[in-house]
Structure 1
Amino acid sequence: MHRPAAPAAVRQGSLRELNLAVVLGRIAAAPRPPSRADVAAATGLTRATVSAVVDDLIAGRLVAEAEPAPRAGAGRPARGLVLAGDGPAGLGLEVNVDYLAVCVTDLAGRVRHHTVHRADLRPLPPADALARLVALADAARLDARRQGLTLAGAVLAVPGLVDAAGLVRLAPNLGWRDVPVPALLAAHPPLAEPVPGIPALVVENEANLAALGELHADPDGPVSFLHISGEVGIGAGIVLDGALFRGVRGFSGEIGHLTVRPAGRPCGCGGRGCLERYAGQEAVLAAAGLDRADLPADTAAARLADLAAAGHHATRAALAEAGAALGVAVAGVVNLLDLDTVVLGGGYARLTPWLRPPVLAEVSRRVLTAAWSPVTVRPSALGPEAAVVGAAGSVVRRIVAAPVGWLNRAG
């Protein structure tokens, strides 16, 4: 689940801090539970050093010993080391146009709690929407505590432009502008326990978090790709060589507001002909002759997928039109960044069978290298949960990369 970067050979801080990060990172990245001797061999540390570090990690509820695998030869089998399932956990939160989501993941990235509350949040003031989210987070905290987990930080995913201080500059589909999310949440009890070196709350663009969730969901997956989250709005996370590309101000990935028809429909962002106006969830529903108000208990993507699978002509035509618009935008990004993988996430994940053909048709026509360097278009492994799972996972990855803060707190 984790892809921790190898700690630098020389860095500030104590030797103990470095050794803790090296050993924990090795255990997290190992394809099967390594023994202490395996960790020593892989890291170059002495067995005595590894044993002492592992003892600290076990005492701090970061590592646990697995039952040894049976062996036929003589001698006592070595016990493998795994990330603990009853220590720190990450709290992922998401505010989107028509739902709220909360997720808790443990240190190994396993989802231990997941709740989705569906409601149209556009009529609500930001403070009211966040209050509803806090109520869901409180229930998640209680559930985590029952499982022996401690929430070590929270990350909130928002479908809009977020600056480094957590100020939501613009979330056009929610109607938010210059919303001070951290200040609004400060009026409620803390979402997570204080841990040195781990921010209590981070606010981030939901498409970026979805891309990070996808990156870490499959250790053998691509390390460079475009992840597109298709909901009411459309956002993208760009991953290059295993790292999220944020742009100069952190606002990259607004693919939903790429122009696909210059003289087209007006958009809530103030422009015209934006991709969202042709491939966003509500645009597709309208083209299919469906009313979002008729789907209170189900997701729009699920209903569209059911109708398309049943051969509903209007739905298939709407998805073909959306896929063609999406393909125009994707082709521009691929031409610019030379990517070979496009991941369809959010509601698009379920609709991939009908979106992929028109996307690939536009890519083959518009991408200069398509004839000898084909582009893969596939559904997200995490689907609609990618952003909130990615948010929770980003908390625990911080602990894996720098465990000393958690240990100092626990001590």
Structure 2
Amino acid sequence: MAAPAPQTQHGIRQRNLSLVLHAVAAHGPLSRAGVAGRIGLTRAAVSTLVDELTRAGLLVELGRTRPGTVGRPGSALALSDRGPAGLGAEIGVDHLAVCAVDLRGRVRVRAEETAANRNSEPGSVMARLARLLRRVTAEAEREGLTPAGLAVAVPGLVARGSATVVRAPNLGWHGTDIGPALARALTPALPAAVDNEANLGALAELWLGEGGAARRDFVHVSAEIGIGAAVVVDGALLRGAQGFAGELGHVPVRPEGHPCPCGGRGCLEQYAGEEAVLRAAGMTGGEGIPELRDRAAAGDGVVRRALRGAGTALGIALAGAVNLLDPQAVVLGGALAELSPWLLPAAERELARRVTRPYGELVVSRLGRDGPLLGAAHSVVQGVLDDPIGRTNSPGAGVV
């Protein structure tokens, strides 16, 4: 095997700048000595890196460190709450949302609107999203933030490394490239990415969920009108050859069952998606998850029976995933997480019946509906932390 090529000075500098930022993000505020102790570089080397990051507006000095910190007392360092920020957007079947997150991970600006996006022309949807993006960007700039990039969550398959929505049955989109519309919406131009909402929800769970760094292997189920899933293995998304991994909603749980917009029959979405549960509960008057939750809590037998049926279908689909992947946990996110007291018992019974070995735990995400939007914005922030040179020195990189 050939020896690996030596690292360039540029690459080493980028790696070390990233190490400093990640150390402060995970453990800050820290002194320079504290950072040096965390990342294994000399105090002098860290001071040079910190000076560069401070000039770039990525780090700020808060004042003297508290007694008892590593090394001699020094100035405490924290990520800046001004300067680069991550823009996240979500295109849902029934809503649009945009938020701006600073480097400290705080949501500084958020805008959302109800929108009937099913079977709407992509151009119309993107025009409304562009207005939200411009509004959030303007408010973020008034807060002293400069968006470093945009990530957009969509409820469908996205071709790997592109902005093309290959198939989003619940939107009625097929082969839709939203890159040009994003480029027109972003002034000045920003790096932009488009990804499946379940993938971004899983990343939010990895970075922000209660499992923290200890949970690095899990299946994340994003359950709303549609049902998607994402697989995290050793702290990284398992995307598949084309980027389409995780289509749990289109795993058949009743092979000769109800037809599905994807072209199949008996898909999980037709038994455990939001609309399927509402239909089974006899709620066809425009009600939603809040009404389901309230009726279930009040003891409505029809609603509870519908939720048990959905939980059973979910457990059947999850059993196959657990047997195949052996995750630490299965995490239920999205809107249906609000119905977990009535969904999970039936799902757990199916898992117990069908899984061949202990399967870890089935838990509910505390992020709920916000997972994909937060995952989108935080993916941009993570990009800045990973590559502080590239993400802050190329504001006109455009949509990629």
Shorter-chain TM-score above 0.5: yes
Equivalent in 90, 113, 122 of residue 94 of structure 1:
90
Aligned counterpart, 1:231 = 224
CA contact under 8 A between 2:322 and 2:359: conserved in structure 1?
A: no
**Deviation string for 1:323-348 (max 9, x for gaps)?**
00000000010011112311111112
Structure 2 segments unaligned to the other structure (5+ residues): 396-400
CA contact under 8 A between 1:21 and 1:402: conserved in structure 2?
A: yes
In 2, Cα distance between the equivalents of 1:357 and 1:10?
54
Range 267-276 or range 48-57, more displaced: 48-57
AA in 1 matched with 2:153 = A
In 2, Cα distance between the equivalents of 1:111 and 1:252?
29
Equivalent in 249, 259, 281 of residue 252 of structure 2:
259
CA contact under 8 A between 1:352 and 1:378: conserved in structure 2?
A: no
CA drift of 1:45 comes to: 2.1
Equivalent in 189, 202, 212 of residue 211 of structure 1:
202
CA contact under 8 A between 1:267 and 1:274: conserved in structure 2?
A: yes
Aligned counterpart, 1:381 = 366
Q: Secondary structure at the match of 1:89?
A: strand
Counterparts in 2 of 1:344 and 1:10: CA distance versus 1, 3 Å: farther
Q: Secondary structure at the match of 1:104?
A: strand
**Deviation string for 1:328-379 (max 9, x for gaps)?**
000010011112311111112211111110110000000011xxx2431111
In 1, Cα distance between the equivalents of 2:392 and 2:279?
53
Say if 2:343 is the partner of 1:355: yes
CA drift of 1:166 comes to: 1.4
Aligned counterpart, 1:197 = none
Say if 2:150 is the partner of 1:179: no
RMSD: 2.1
Correspondences of 1:52-71 after superposition (within 5 Å): 52-68=48-64, 70-71=66-67
CA drift of 1:13 comes to: 4.8
Equivalent in 101, 107, 114 of residue 105 of structure 1:
101
Q: Secondary structure at the match of 1:253?
A: coil
Correspondences of 1:141-152 after superposition (within 5 Å): 141-152=137-148
Counterparts in 2 of 1:157 and 1:11: CA distance versus 1, 3 Å: farther
CA contact under 8 A between 2:84 and 2:392: conserved in structure 1?
A: no
Say if 2:240 is the partner of 1:247: yes
Equivalent in 308, 318, 335 of residue 306 of structure 2:
318
Counterparts in 2 of 1:405 and 1:319: CA distance versus 1, 3 Å: same
Runs of 4+ more than 3 Å apart? 8-13, 67-73, 191-194, 406-410
Structure 1 segments unaligned to the other structure (5+ residues): 1-7, 195-199
CA drift of 1:79 comes to: 2.5
CA drift of 1:104 comes to: 1.1
Q: Secondary structure at the match of 1:202?
A: strand
In 1, Cα distance between the equivalents of 2:342 and 2:100?
32
In 2, Cα distance between the equivalents of 1:210 and 1:10?
36
CA drift of 1:115 comes to: 2.3
Q: Secondary structure at the match of 2:342?
A: helix
**Deviation string for 1:203-241 (max 9, x for gaps)?**
111100100011000434411111111111100011011
Aligned counterpart, 1:5 = none
- TM-score (norm. length: structure 1): 0.89
User: May I ask how many residue pairs the two structures share in their alignment?
Assistant: 387
CA contact under 8 A between 1:230 and 1:344: conserved in structure 2?
A: yes
In 2, Cα distance between the equivalents of 1:302 and 1:359?
21
CA contact under 8 A between 2:164 and 2:179: conserved in structure 1?
A: yes
**Deviation string for 1:304-334 (max 9, x for gaps)?**
1122111111111111100000000000100
In 2, Cα distance between the equivalents of 1:25 and 1:267?
44
Report percent identity of matched pairs. 47
CA contact under 8 A between 1:102 and 1:388: conserved in structure 2?
A: yes
Counterparts in 2 of 1:27 and 1:367: CA distance versus 1, 3 Å: same
CA contact under 8 A between 2:119 and 2:173: conserved in structure 1?
A: no
**Deviation string for 1:232-287 (max 9, x for gaps)?**
11000110110100011100000000000011000001110000000010011111
AA in 2 matched with 1:212 = L
CA drift of 1:191 comes to: 5.7
AA in 2 matched with 1:131 = A
Counterparts in 2 of 1:326 and 1:192: CA distance versus 1, 3 Å: farther
CA drift of 1:110 comes to: 1.4
CA drift of 1:404 comes to: 1.0
